[in-house]
C-alpha cells in the first residue's frame, strides 16, 4: 500500500505540470497585466516595475523561471500586495480556511451520515420525508443566500452571534461560516448515504447477518454501514479539497481572512504569482485527497486492493 | 397495411418513449406544480414589469429604502418631508397644509414676492402632480397651492436609490431565466455535438477528444470562469457563451457514453451499410437517441447556470447596472440587511423558489424518462 501511495504521488507530478502550464499561459493570454491597471502610473515606473519582476522578458523565459522557482518551493512575490510573498499569504490565510473547512467537513460527514442512515431506516415515513426535504433545501439554496440570511436572523435579529469578522478565531465567530459551509455538504452526504443505505439494507450479507440473529445495531453499523459508506467516501475527497481551500462567498460575507478570496481578486488584478500559487495549492489538495480516498477505499472494502 | 386493418392496430398501438414519459410526468404532482410555477414565474418576469406602474430604472428621490407596503404612498407622515424638500428648492417656507382626499392644499410664505409659477417645483417632486395656485395674498408674500398626491405603490419596497424593488426583481428574473435557458442551451448543444462525435467515431478521435475534456476538468472550475469573464469583458451577451462554454463538459461525457453504445446498434449498422454519411448517421440516429438523458440533464443544468450567473454577479463580475439579475439584487440586499432586509428577502425568495421548481421538474423528468432509476 505504501508503494502504491508513493507511485500515485509520483504520477501526480505530470498532472500538476499540465495544470500549471495551462493555467500559466491561459492567464497570460488575458489582456492587461499587474501594473497596467493603476491609473496614471508613470510609464517609466511601470517599465521599472516590469523589469524588477522580470515581466519584460519573453514569456517562455518567465515560464521556465517560474517552474524553476516552484521546484525550489519559491512561489514568488505577490504583485498587488508588494510587502508579501505568495508563500506568506498562504501561511497566514490557509490555516484559517483549513480550520473552518475541516470543521465544516467533520460536521457534514457526521451529521450527513447520521441523517442519511436514519432516513434509510425509516424509509417512506415522516422522518425520511423530513430528511429528504432538508437535503433538497440544503442543496438547492445557494450559499450566498444562506449566509446573509444567517446574519439577518442570528446576528441582527436575535443578536446571538457577531455579524461578521474573525475575532481572533473566537468560537462564536466561527459558528456561522462553519454552518453555512457545511449545510450543502450535509445535504449531499445525507442524500448519498440514504440511497446507498437503502440498497445495503436489502443486500444478501445484511440479510444473512440478520438471520444469524445479530442485534440491529451490529447489523447496521458493522455490516450495512461499512459497505454503504463508500459513495460518501468518494464524494468526500473532492469535497474536502474544495472546503479546505476556502470559499469566496463565505469568506467575503463573514469577513474571514482566509484564502478563499485570493483566486478571484488575484485573477481580476492579474496578480500572476498569486493566481498560480492558488492553482497549485488547490491542485495539490485535490490530488492528495483523491489519493486518501483511494487508500481509504482499500481499508473499508477488502475487495479493493492496491498492489 | 390495409384500411380495414388500421383500426385494429390502432387499438393496441404502442406508445412512443416520449408519450410514455409525458404520461408519467403528468402523474408526478410535484413536477406538474413546479412546471406550472415556472411558467407563471416566466410570464410574471416577462410581462409583470408592464403592470407594476414603475420602470426598473425610475428613481424616486422621495422614497429611498421605503419598506414594502400594500398601501399607496405618500403616507401622511411622508407628505411633510416631501413638501419641505420640494419647496426648499423654491426658496419658500410651507406655513400650513391640509389634505382633502387625494389633494393637498399648502400655504407658503416667503420674504420676497412669490412667483405664481412656483407650482412647477411641486410637480417635479415624485409625490405631487398637477399643482395649481388657488389664491395669492395681496402682498404677494404668501400664496396657497393645491396639488394632487401622486399615488405610488411599492409592494416590495424600494432600494437604496429609490427604485421599485418589485419591478427590479421581475426584470432581474428575465435576465436570470434568460441566462439560465440560453447558457443551458449553449452547454447542451456543445456537449451533445462533441460527445456524440467522440462516441460515434470512437478510437483515436474519441481518445483525443476526451483527453481534452479531462484537461479542462482538471483546471479549477472557478478559474476557468473568471478567465473567460476577464477575456470577454463584462459583456452581458458574452456571459451566456462563457457560462455555457464551461458547463458542457459533463454533458459531453454523458452523451459520449450513450453514443458508444448506440453506434453498435443494428439500425446504425444498417444505415452504414446503406451508405449514409457519418454526419447523417450522427444527426439522424445517434443524437436523437441520446435526447432522453440530455433532457433530464438540461433541467438540472439550468438551475446550475442560474446559480453560477448569480454567483458571478454576486462577485461583481456578471450583469452590470442598470440591468440586474437575482444575484446582483441579493448581493445588494446582503449589504443592506441591517437597515433594509426586504432587499435581501424578496430576491432570495424568487431565486430559491425557482431553483426548487427546476429541481423538482428535473427529478420528475428523470423519473419519467428513466423509470429504472427510481
**Complex prediction ipTM:** 0.77
Are B334 and A282 within 8 A, CB to CB? no
pLDDT exceeds 70 at position B335 = yes
Which of A19, A140, A156 is closest, CB to CB, to B218? A19
- Cα separation, A131 vs A119, in Å, equals 6
pLDDT value of residue B253: 84
Three-state SS at B203: helix
Which of A15, A30, A282 is closest, CB to CB, to B220? A282
A153 touches chain B (CB under 8 A): no
Considering only alpha carbons, which residue of chain A is nearest residue B234? A268
Check residues B151 and B252 and name the one with the higher pLDDT. B252
Considering only alpha carbons, which residue of chain B is nearest residue A15? B218
A38-47, A218-227, A272-281, B45-54: range with highest mean pLDDT: A272-281
Sole residue written with cell 470562469: B225
Residues in Cβ contact with A265 at an 8 Å cutoff, skipping those fewer than 6 apart: A80, A271
pLDDT exceeds 60 at position B241 = yes
Instruction: From residue A171, give the alpha-carbon distance in Å to each of A49, A184, A247.
Output: 43, 21, 19
Residues of B in contact with A274 (CB under 8 A): none
- B270-285: pLDDT as tens digits: 988 898 888 888 888 8
pLDDT exceeds 90 at position B52 = no
What is the average pLDDT across B304-320?
Answer: 80
pLDDT value of residue B1: 43
- Count of A–B CB contacts within 8 Å? 91
- B342-370: pLDDT as tens digits: 888 888 899 999 998 988 888 888 778 76
End-to-end CA distance of chain B: give it in Å, rounded: 39
Of A187, A185, A160, A186, the residue nearest A175 (C-alpha): A160
Instruction: From residue A59, give the alpha-carbon distance in Å to each of A25, A65, A130, A267.
Output: 9, 10, 57, 18
- Cα separation, A95 vs A244, in Å, equals 9
Which residues partner with B103 through β-bridges? B100, B148
Are B222 and A264 within 8 A, CB to CB? yes
pLDDT value of residue A241: 87
- Cα separation, A104 vs A175, in Å, equals 10
What is the average pLDDT across B51-77?
Answer: 76
Which of A156, A248, A263 is closest, CB to CB, to B337? A156
- B157-198: pLDDT as tens digits: 777 787 888 888 898 898 888 888 888 888 888 989 998 888
CA angle B162-B165-B166, nearest 5°?
A: 140
Residues of A in contact with B223 (CB under 8 A): 23, 263, 267, 275, 278-279
- Cα separation, B78 vs B205, in Å, equals 71
pTM of the complete model: 0.80
Cβ–Cβ < 8 Å for A59, A28: yes
Provide φ and ψ at B265, rounded to 5°: -75, 155
Are B215 and A151 within 8 A, CB to CB? no
Which of A15, A23, A148 is closest, CB to CB, to B344? A148
Work out the minimum CA distance from B216 to partner chain A, whole angstroms: 9
- Cα separation, A171 vs A199, in Å, equals 39
Three-state SS at A96: helix
Amino acid at each position: 500500500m505504501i508503494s502504491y501511495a508513493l507511485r500515485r504521488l509520483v504520477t501526480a507530478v505530470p498532472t500538476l505540470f499540465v495544470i500549471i502550464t495551462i493555467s500559466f499561459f491561459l492567464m497570460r493570454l488575458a489582456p492587461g497585466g499587474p501594473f497596467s491597471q493603476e491609473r496614471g502610473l508613470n510609464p517609466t515606473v511601470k517599465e521599472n516595475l516590469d523589469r524588477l519582476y522580470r515581466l519584460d522578458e519573453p514569456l517562455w523565459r518567465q515560464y521556465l523561471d517560474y517552474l524553476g522557482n516552484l521546484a525550489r518551493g519559491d512561489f514568488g512575490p505577490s504583485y498587488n500586495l508588494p510587502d508579501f510573498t505568495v508563500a506568506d499569504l498562504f501561511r497566514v490565510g490557509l490555516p484559517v480556511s483549513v480550520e473552518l473547512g475541516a470543521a465544516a467537513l467533520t460536521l457534514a460527514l457526521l451529521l450527513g451520515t447520521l441523517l442519511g442512515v436514519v432516513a434509510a431506516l425509516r424509509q417512506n415515513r415522516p422522518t425520511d420525508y423530513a430528511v429528504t426535504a432538508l437535503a433538497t433545501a440544503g442543496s438547492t439554496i445557494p450559499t450566498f443566500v444562506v449566509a446573509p440570511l444567517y446574519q439577518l436572523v442570528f446576528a441582527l435579529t436575535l443578536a446571538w452571534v457577531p455579524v461578521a469578522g474573525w475575532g481572533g478565531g473566537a468560537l462564536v465567530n466561527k459558528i456561522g461560516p462553519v454552518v453555512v459551509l457545511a449545510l450543502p455538504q450535509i445535504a449531499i452526504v445525507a442524500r448519498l448515504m440514504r440511497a446507498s443505505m437503502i440498497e445495503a439494507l436489502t443486500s444478501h450479507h445484511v440479510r444473512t447477518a440478520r438471520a444469524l440473529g445479530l442485534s440491529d445495531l451490529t447489523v447496521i453499523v458493522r455490516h450495512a454501514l461499512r459497505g454503504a459508506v463508500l459513495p460518501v467516501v468518494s464524494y468526500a475527497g473532492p469535497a474536502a479539497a474544495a472546503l479546505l481551500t476556502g470559499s469566496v462567498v463565505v469568506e467575503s460575507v463573514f469577513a474571514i481572512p482566509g484564502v478563499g478570496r485570493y483566486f478571484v481578486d488575484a485573477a481580476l488584478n492579474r496578480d500572476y504569482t498569486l493566481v498560480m500559487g492558488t492553482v497549485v495549492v488547490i491542485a495539490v489538495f485535490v490530488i492528495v485527497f483523491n489519493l486518501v480516498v483511494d487508500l481509504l477505499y482499500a481499508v473499508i472494502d477488502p475487495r479493493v486492493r492496491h498492489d | 397495411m390495409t384500411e380495414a386493418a388500421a383500426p385494429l392496430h390502432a387499438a393496441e398501438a404502442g406508445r412512443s418513449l416520449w408519450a410514455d414519459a409525458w404520461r408519467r410526468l403528468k402523474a408526478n404532482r410535484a413536477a406538474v406544480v413546479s412546471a406550472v410555477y415556472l411558467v407563471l414565474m416566466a410570464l410574471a418576469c416577462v410581462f409583470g414589469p408592464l403592470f407594476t406602474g414603475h420602470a426598473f430604472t425610475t428613481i424616486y428621490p422621495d422614497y429611498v429604502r421605503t419598506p414594502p407596503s400594500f398601501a399607496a404612498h405618500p403616507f401622511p407622515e411622508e407628505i411633510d418631508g416631501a413638501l419641505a424638500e420640494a419647496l426648499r428648492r423654491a426658496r419658500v417656507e410651507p406655513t400650513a397644509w391640509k389634505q382633502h382626499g387625494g389633494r393637498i392644499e399648502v400655504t407658503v410664505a416667503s420674504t420676497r414676492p412669490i412667483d405664481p409659477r412656483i407650482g412647477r417645483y411641486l410637480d417635479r417632486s415624485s409625490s405631487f402632480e398637477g399643482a395649481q395656485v388657488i389664491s395669492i395674498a395681496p402682498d404677494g408674500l404668501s400664496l396657497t397651492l393645491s396639488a394632487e398626491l401622486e399615488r405610488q405603490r411599492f409592494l416590495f419596497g424600494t432600494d437604496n436609490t429609490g427604485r421599485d424593488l418589485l419591478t427590479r426583481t421581475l426584470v432581474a428574473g428575465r435576465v436570470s431565466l434568460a441566462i439560465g435557458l440560453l447558457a443551458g442551451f449553449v452547454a447542451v448543444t456543445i456537449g451533445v455535438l462533441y460527445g456524440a462525435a467522440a462516441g460515434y467515431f470512437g478510437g483515436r478521435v474519441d481518445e483525443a477528444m476526451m483527453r481534452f475534456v479531462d484537461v479542462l476538468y482538471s483546471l479549477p472550475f472557478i478559474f476557468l470562469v473568471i478567465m473567460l469573464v476577464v477575456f470577454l469583458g463584462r459583456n452581458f451577451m458574452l456571459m451566456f457563451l462563457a457560462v455555457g462554454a464551461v458547463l458542457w463538459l459533463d454533458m459531453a461525457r454523458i452523451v459520449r457514453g450513450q453514443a458508444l453504445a448506440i453506434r453498435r446498434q443494428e439500425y446504425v449498422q444498417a444505415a452504414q451499410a446503406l451508405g449514409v454519411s457519418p454526419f447523417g448517421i450522427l444527426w439522424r440516429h445517434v443524437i436523437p437517441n441520446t435526447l432522453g438523458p440530455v433532457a433530464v440533464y438540461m433541467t438540472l443544468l439550468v438551475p446550475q447556470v442560474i446559480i453560477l450567473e448569480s454567483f458571478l454577479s454576486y462577485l461583481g463580475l456578471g450583469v452590470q447596472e442598470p440591468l440586474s439579475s437575482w444575484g446582483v439584487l441579493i448581493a445588494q440586499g446582503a449589504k443592506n440587511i441591517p437597515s433594509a432586509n426586504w432587499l435581501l428577502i424578496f430576491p432570495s425568495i424568487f431565486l430559491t423558489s425557482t431553483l426548487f421548481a427546476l429541481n423538482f421538474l428535473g427529478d420528475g423528468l428523470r423519473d419519467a424518462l428513466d423509470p429504472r432509476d427510481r
